[in-house]
């Protein structure tokens, strides 16, 4: 399993919490990317997870992509060596078998396509691109009932429609089994059709949770949130359920935006849930 980072930005932790006692109790001892006391910021990492399991090479969430417009100050006109970083872990674009987007915000489906001769075309020509049908319908611009929100313009037409036109899209209803070890489950709220990938291998469970969590403070206090959820009460309920499940199962969480080492599991300390970064992910 590999993490392929596209880029990261520094975000004030105050957007989630400015409770200093809580920060010193639960955040200050985490690796520095989760909180820099000098700037009071955390690193918002934009990365993909790459799995090799059951004979498949699976890419989870595809970041923002190069040369995009209208994505906001920190995401427009990126020029990152994302595909070279994939190659550096031994994976070429044409060797990806499955692309799974937890949801269709711009920072999770951008590298689905790249530009060729002025058109957006699929980056991974041999992949099945899996989209949860509820999420697909949420953003489908040909559906006049649902519509993109203001911070996600052009994304469906640039990052999803060309995949459909190329015959590579697979709409799935949930839950959906990809292979004996991999299953997609619903994890709604951040977007209405938000989903997660579940891996069970040799008794170890790992959940690729997309944007169900943005920072470890939400593992202790699931009500904390960044702006922009489709359905905040449902997003909070999903977080609470995932926290309970991950504790019960000693499961690893692989979120989409956590700072280095980008993953971990949960523990209990002084009657509070806490984040334990890293661990034996290859176990």
Binding footprint of Zn ion on the chain (CB under 5 A)? 107, 211
* Minimum CB–partner distance for residue 39 and Zn ion (Å): 21
Other CB atoms within 10 A of residue 268 CB: 9
- Sign of the torsion angle spanned by Cα atoms 221, 223, 228, 234: positive
Give whichever of 6 and 107 is closer to Zn ion, judged by the CB atom: 107
Q: How far is the CB of 103 from Zn ion (least distance, A)?
A: 8
User: For residue 108, which of 72, 65, 137, 70 has the smallest C-alpha distance?
Assistant: 65
Cβ 21 to Zn ion shortest distance, Å: 28
Q: Is 141 left (phi over 0), alpha (psi -120 to 50) or beta?
A: alpha
> Longest C-alpha distance within the chain, in Å?
58
CB closer to Zn ion, 121 vs 235 = 235
User: Which CB atom, from 103 or from 265, has the smaller least distance to Zn ion?
Assistant: 103
Place of tokens 């990492």: 45
The rounded distance, in Å, linking the Cα atoms of 196 and 211 is 9
Q: How far is the CB of 123 from Zn ion (least distance, A)?
A: 19
CB of 149 closer than 8 Å to CB of 101: no
CB of 239 or CB of 244, closer to Zn ion: 239
Nearer Cβ to Zn ion (11/204): 11
CB of 271 to Zn ion, least distance (A): 30
The residue among 107 and 128 lying less far from Zn ion, judged by its C-beta, is 107
Beta carbon of residue 179, minimum distance to Zn ion (angstroms, whole number) = 25
Contact 28, 65 (CB under 8 A): no
CA atoms of 40 and 261, how far apart (whole Å): 19
Dihedral sign for Cα 205, 209, 215, 221, please. Answer: negative
135 versus 211: smaller Cβ distance to Zn ion: 211
Instruction: Name which of 122, 115, 111, 9 is nearest 60 in CA terms.
Output: 111
Contact 212, 224 (CB under 8 A): no
Instruction: Give the length of the chain.
Output: 283
Give the whole-angstrom CA distance, residue 218 versus residue 209. Answer: 13
- Contact in structure between 28 and 210 (CB atoms under 8 Å): no
**C-beta of 211: minimal distance to Zn ion in Å?**
4
| Closest distance to Zn ion from the beta carbon of 13 (Å) | 17
Between 72 and 81, name the residue whose CB sits nearer to Zn ion: 72
């Amino acid at each position: 399993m590999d993490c392929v980072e596209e880029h990261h930005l520094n975000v004030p932790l105050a957007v989630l919490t400015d409770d200093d006692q809580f920060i010193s109790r639960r955040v200050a001892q985490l690796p520095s990317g989760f909180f820099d006391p000098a700037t009071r910021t955390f690193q918002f990492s934009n990365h993909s997870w790459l799995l090799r399991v059951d004979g498949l090479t699976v890419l989870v969430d595809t970041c923002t992509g190069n040369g995009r417009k209208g994505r906001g100050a920190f995401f427009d006109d990126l020029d990152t060596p994302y595909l070279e970083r994939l190659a550096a872990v031994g994976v070429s674009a044409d060797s990806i078998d499955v692309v799974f987007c937890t949801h269709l915000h711009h920072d999770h489906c951008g590298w689905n396509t790249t530009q060729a001769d002025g058109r957006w075309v699929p980056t991974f020509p041999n992949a099945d691109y899996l989209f949860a049908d509820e999420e697909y319908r949420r953003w489908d611009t040909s559906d006049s009932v649902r519509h993109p929100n203001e911070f996600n313009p052009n994304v469906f037409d640039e990052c999803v429609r060309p995949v459909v036109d190329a015959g590579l899209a697979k709409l799935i209803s949930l839950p959906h089994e990809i292979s004996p070890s991999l299953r997609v489950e619903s994890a709604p709220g951040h977007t209405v059709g938000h989903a997660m990938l579940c891996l069970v291998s040799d008794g170890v469970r790992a959940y690729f949770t997309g944007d169900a969590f943005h920072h470890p403070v939400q593992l202790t206090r699931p009500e904390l949130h960044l702006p922009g959820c489709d359905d905040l009460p449902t997003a909070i309920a999903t977080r609470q359920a995932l926290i309970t499940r991950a504790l019960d199962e000693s499961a690893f969480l692989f979120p989409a935006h956590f700072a280095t080492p980008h993953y971990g599991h949960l523990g209990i300390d002084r009657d509070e849930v806490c984040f334990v970064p890293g661990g034996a992910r290859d176990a």
